Structure 1
Amino acid sequence: MKLNQLEMLIHLAEVGSVQAVAERMHRTQAAVSMALKNLEQEAGFKLFDRSGYRLALTQRGQQFLRQASEVIRQNQRLQSLTQQLRTGAEPQLRISYDYTCAPAVLFPALQQLQQTFPATELLLSGDSQLRSLRKIRDGEAELALCPWLPVFRQHGDFETVRVRPFELLIVVAPALLQQAGLVELAASHPAAIKVSRQDLLDLPMLIPQNQDVGIDLDIILRMPGQQRIRVNDSITQRELLLAGMGWGIIPGDLVGDAIAQQMLRPIDIPGFINQVNLEVHMVRSAERLAGPAERLIWQYFAGAHGDTSSDASGEY
């Protein structure tokens, strides 16, 4: 039995189709089908129930899957240990951060890393929503910085440490209110502007496209079908808000300076949720052995907050 056959079995249990496994592992569908067929022949008993629309594991197949998953985890640990014994600190450390999280929170820890392990190359990548977590799960990154919800545990076996609060605000440019004839609202209320639901019906609403974030903003806002502009990243959304193209919900970190200069103003909608409070977490795989460089970054945040947990979670 080969490790890649076991990996295909694990992916198949998650996605339920040979085609999806082939796409995930960048193989042809025929190659995946043949590898799984050979695995079943080597096992000597039926792994799959082929009677339904989707492939399902038999009872014996499920028992086999549990042991196969442990073999893959042990292999990942062995590879990690081998690299550390051979090279000392990791030659590269890959860190993914969600676009909604300002990466500057990482910089003090990265400066410590540069001083302690100058030969370790840092690879930083911005990713949308759950792609950061999938990179951790698939071994494409060692650490991820992202907003955290308990539901994300269904995507992998993760450990997390709290980094800081994460706040989503509903904001608008005063100029947009003035254009809509709501001059009095734009000029008053030095803090949050109280805007009625009716006031917003004729104004465009800026919201993210569906990016598998785990938060349904339509449900949170519960607003009817007024004109909407959907964007796929928070930076573009910020620019549209500043240009008076609409009102919307956005991470507070990205608009704090604009709010301070009153280029944007928070909105208070009576009877509606006006803020969403989560937490930004540092996330890593619980199935890998961390190298020295990775441990340094992890301990920087664990030491600052003392809140390392495989069950840490944010509320909203």
Structure 2
Amino acid sequence: MNLVQLKMLDAIVRTQSLSQAALALHKSQPALTLAVKKLENEVGFELLDRNYYRLQLTEKGRIFHREAALLLGAESHLMQLANELALGNEANYKICYEQLCHQPFYNDIICDAFVKYTSTEFSVTSGKRFASLEQVNKAQVDLGIGPWFDLFHATGDLESLPIGKLDIGIVSANGLLPNKVDYEQLQQYPCLAMFESDMSFDSERLSYSKGSAMMKIDDVSTLKSFLLSGAGWAIISLAHCQNELDSGALQQINIIDREHTFSAQIRVFRQNSTHHGPVARAIWRDFKRLSKEYLGK
């Protein structure tokens, strides 16, 4: 038994797919199949139940994988610590913003760390819906900033801090449709929406649209530009288009028979780890201060 075998098993468990695990690990599917079979022979019992469309762990496999995940986590923390000791701090610190949640004063915290830790390369990304949660859970980034719902705790071992509020409404170009409609009337107009993530709870069912023409976009600035062009209506952060709403270029749509404005807490979150480097600790400390200020309002 070795760490490579355990990493292969963990990738299969996370993706529930041999092809996706092979893609993530840059291995062939036969290599993964052979590695898991060899591991099963070494431990003396089947780890995977292959009787379903998606691969699942057997009862013994769940217990084994739980302990293996702890070992892989310890190995990851050890490598992180080794890199930190060698370089003085993290070589790279990765952040993923949910595009609808961007606020300038969040940037201030990140900028302070960027200026202070000059040997650390900072990477800031965004993307499709719930990208920040997805990338934190997959350990592709160190920190996520995005809308938060209680079920997110069930997606991984996360710690989070509330830092703001997100107000969402239905918006269109002024005059494209009446500013008061019922839900069925709304479906007669084309809808603009962000791409869904790969999270299990995320799907088109979360969309407010039901049967209307759909344009999917992966960038909120592009989405707003199509709104201004009159391509359709969208559910969007009201803060992102407040200037256009004030000027009359965009209008907020009221749905007379359904809820049409929504609010969510914005949180900063990361994997719950036994070790975080100096950059991670500094950023988290400053966000914790911001969280206290936000909760004290």
Establish whether TM, by shorter chain, passes 0.5: yes
Gap change, CA 1:65 and 1:108, over 3 Å in 2 = same
Q: Which blocks of at least 5 consecutive residues in structure 2 are unaligned?
A: none
Gap change, CA 1:265 and 1:217, over 3 Å in 2 = farther
Confirm or deny: 8 A CA contact 1:80 1:288 kept in the other structure. Answer: no
The SS at the match of 1:60 is helix
Q: Any idea what the Cα deviations from partners look like across 1:202-258, whole Å, max 9, x if unmatched?
A: 43333334445756676663x653444333332222111111222221122321221
Confirm or deny: 8 A CA contact 1:211 1:232 kept in the other structure. Answer: no
Confirm or deny: 8 A CA contact 2:127 2:219 kept in the other structure. Answer: no
Q: Between 252-261 and 205-214, report the one with greater CA deviation.
A: 205-214
The SS at the match of 1:248 is strand
Alignment of 1:101-250 (within 5 A): 101-102=101-102, 104-177=104-177, 193-197=179-183, 200=186, 202-212=188-198, 214=201, 221=208, 225-250=211-236
Name the residue aligned to 2:290. 304
Aligned residues: 293
Q: Any idea what the Cα deviations from partners look like across 1:167-221, whole Å, max 9, x if unmatched?
A: 21111222424xxxx6xxxxxxxxxx43444654543333334445756676663
Q: Any idea what the Cα deviations from partners look like across 1:100-155, whole Å, max 9, x if unmatched?
A: 33253432112321343222221112222233333223332111112222333343
Distance 2:62 2:184 in 1: 54
The alignment's C-alpha RMSD in Å is: 2.8
Give the structure-1-normalised TM-score: 0.81
Q: Between 14-23 and 61-70, report the one with greater CA deviation.
A: 14-23
Distance 2:150 2:58 in 1: 29
Amino acid across the alignment from 2:221:
I
Name the residue aligned to 1:69. 69
Alignment of 1:257-296 (within 5 A): 257-287=243-273, 289-296=275-282
Distance 1:61 1:219 in 2: 33
Give the CA deviation at 1:28.
0.5
The SS at the match of 2:101 is coil
- Indicate the percent of aligned positions where both proteins have the same amino acid: 27
Distance 2:197 2:40 in 1: 37
Confirm or deny: 8 A CA contact 2:110 2:283 kept in the other structure. Answer: yes
Gap change, CA 1:53 and 1:272, over 3 Å in 2 = closer
Confirm or deny: 8 A CA contact 1:145 1:280 kept in the other structure. Answer: yes
Q: Between 243-252 and 203-212, report the one with greater CA deviation.
A: 203-212
Distance 2:55 2:120 in 1: 43
